[in-house]
């Protein structure tokens, strides 16, 4: 691999489900590596042995797999590099850059001067040495601390670009000092803006889904999530919002990432996810929905609902009545199947019963004829039918729904509604 090849890394701590902010960091690293012909490393920062359980590591791997974000090397355990970290600590002590104090090892920070972090997003960020005390790089038992381990891991992996959240910015001058004390130049850093909810506060569960797994379980699809996450801080121009993954890989640059906090708005993600679902071939969407619901034989109902759903989870509440019969929505029944509603429903039943061809076009002609004969607006006739066949006031198109149910089932449901007190 040429020396000029870009190498970046995604280095999460395994503390639970992968947060949306972490997913965006992984995505940006992946897009930059793929778009430049570079390499992305997955490193698990698992030195906290109590929290770094196999289950928590698996959560990270599971989330990346669902997002379809792959990596060229890893997962690498940071804890496994402990001997190398300890050797670097000894090297720093031998060169006079570090010393022991009360058993722990500290890096010497000059009393004067400054360390400048060259940030690809924020420009140069200056840290005055007078504000940074000599900092601990190893505990009294010799085990390395975070800043030492990260700096050595990045050095040994040949990392050229460190893309991470801005909450790491305060750590960066310490990592730069460690690398320079060892005689090495630091990589290029880029600290991403934090994610906020629509209320301007740091993103959390109160804003809805806060992890990749929650997005998956809420019925979002990976391509839409990747597209939306890419736009949380980055943009190509003022117009385009829908990008294929290939376009994102080609167009993404770290220099176009904003310094300002980005707003994660699940309603916007829902809108974008809906666009993806509506553009999808019915067969592909059917396969996704059948996998999501654990049901089979959903194709015709999926075709009817495709224009109305924004997530995979929206499908079953809208279409369940096709398979499980009408739900019992007392409020809808009281409002639309009162005495007058049943009179209209009976007229609709008679018109439908006379049909030889029970297709949506014939059904529409018959029911609009009922509206004209009763001198009523369509909704006054259609809603009682909808409540009769589905139990609710929300369904796919009424004519298509009746066709899918078939003549016998449709008339039976209408009859049951008419006979229900």
User: DSSP secondary structure string, 163-177?
Assistant: EEEGGGGGGHHHHHH
- Other CB atoms within a 10 A radius of the CB of residue 85 amount to 24
DSSP for residue 56: H
In this prediction, residue 1 carries a pLDDT of 43
Task: Name the active-site residue from 205, 259, 267, 331.
Answer: 205
In this prediction, residue 132 carries a pLDDT of 96
CB neighbours of 308 closer than 8 A, spacing ≥ 6? 314, 318, 396
- Mean pLDDT rounded to a whole number for the chain: 94
Inter-residue contact 43 to 11 (CB < 8 Å): yes
Q: Parallel, antiparallel, or unpaired for β 104-107 and 98-101?
A: antiparallel
Inter-residue contact 81 to 114 (CB < 8 Å): no
Q: What angle do CA 228, 232, 237 make, to 5 degrees?
A: 85
The answer to whether residue 205 is catalytic is yes
End-to-end CA distance of the chain: 77
Which residue has 């700096």 as its token pair?
A: 151
- In 3-state terms, the chain is what percent helix, strand and coil (to 5)? 55, 15, 35
Higher pLDDT, 356 or 50: 356
In this prediction, residue 238 carries a pLDDT of 80
Mean pLDDT of 78-101: 96
Q: Is 99 helix (H, G, I), strand (E, B) or coil?
A: strand
Tokens of 218: 């809420």
- Other CB atoms within a 10 A radius of the CB of residue 151 amount to 29
Residue 117: enclosing H or E segment and its boundaries?
strand 114-119
pTM of the model: 0.91
Tokens of 402: 């009746």
> Which domains are assigned to the chain?
7-77+194-266 (3.40.50.620), 79-192 (3.40.50.620), 280-316 (no CATH), 330-419 (1.10.10.350)
Q: Parallel, antiparallel, or unpaired for β 188-192 and 161-165?
A: parallel
Mean pLDDT of 51-68: 93
283-340: pLDDT as tens digits:
999 999 999 999 999 999 999 999 999 999 999 999 999 999 999 888 999 999 999 9
């Amino acid at each position: 691999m040429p020396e000029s090849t870009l190498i970046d890394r995604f280095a999460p701590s395994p503390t639970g489900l992968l947060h949306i902010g972490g997913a965006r960091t992984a995505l940006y690293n992946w897009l930059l590596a793929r778009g430049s012909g570079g390499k992305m490393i997955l490193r698990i920062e698992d030195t906290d042995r109590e929290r770094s359980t196999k289950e928590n590591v698996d959560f990270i791997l599971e989330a990346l797999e669902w997002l379809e974000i792959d990596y060229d090397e890893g997962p690498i355990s940071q804890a496994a590099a402990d001997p190398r970290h300890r050797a670097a600590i000894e090297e720093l002590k031998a060169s006079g850059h570090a010393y022991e104090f009360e058993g722990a090892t500290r890096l010497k920070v000059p009393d004067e001067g400054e360390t400048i972090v060259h940030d690809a997003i924020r420009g140069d960020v200056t840290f005055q040495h007078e504000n940074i005390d000599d900092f601990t790089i190893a505990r009294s038992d010799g085990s390395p601390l975070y800043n030492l381990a990260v700096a050595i891991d990045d050095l040994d992996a040949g990392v050229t670009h460190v893309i991470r959240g801005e909450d790491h910015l305060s750590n960066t001058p310490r990592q730069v000092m460690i690398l320079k004390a060892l005689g090495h130049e630091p990589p290029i850093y880029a600290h991403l803006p934090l994610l906020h909810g629509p209320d301007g506060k740091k993103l959390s569960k109160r804003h809805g889904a806060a992890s990749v797994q929650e997005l998956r379980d809420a019925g979002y699809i990976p391509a839409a999530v990747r597209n939306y996450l890419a736009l949380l801080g980055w943009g190509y121009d003022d117009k385009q919002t829908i990008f294929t993954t290939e376009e994102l890989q080609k167009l993404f640059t770290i220099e176009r990432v904003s310094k300002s906090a980005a707003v994660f708005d699940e309603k916007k993600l829902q809108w974008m996810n809906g666009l993806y679902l509506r553009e999808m071939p019915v067969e592909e969407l059917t396969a996704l929905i059948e996998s999501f619901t654990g049901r089979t034989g959903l194709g015709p109902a999926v075709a009817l609902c495709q224009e109305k759903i924004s997530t995979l989870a929206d499908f079953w509440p809208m279409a369940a009545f096709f398979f499980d019969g009408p739900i019992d929505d007392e409020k809808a029944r009281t409002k639309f199947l009162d005495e007058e509603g049943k009179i209209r429903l009976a007229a609709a039943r008679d018109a439908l019963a006379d049909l030889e061809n029970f297709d949506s076009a014939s059904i529409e002609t018959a029911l609009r004829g009922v509206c004209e004969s009763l001198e009523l607006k369509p909704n006054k006739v259609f809603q009682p039918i909808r409540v009769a066949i589905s139990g609710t006031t929300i369904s796919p198109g009424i004519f298509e729904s009746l066709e899918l149910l078939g003549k016998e089932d449709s008339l039976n449901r209408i009859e049951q509604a008419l006979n229900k007190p």
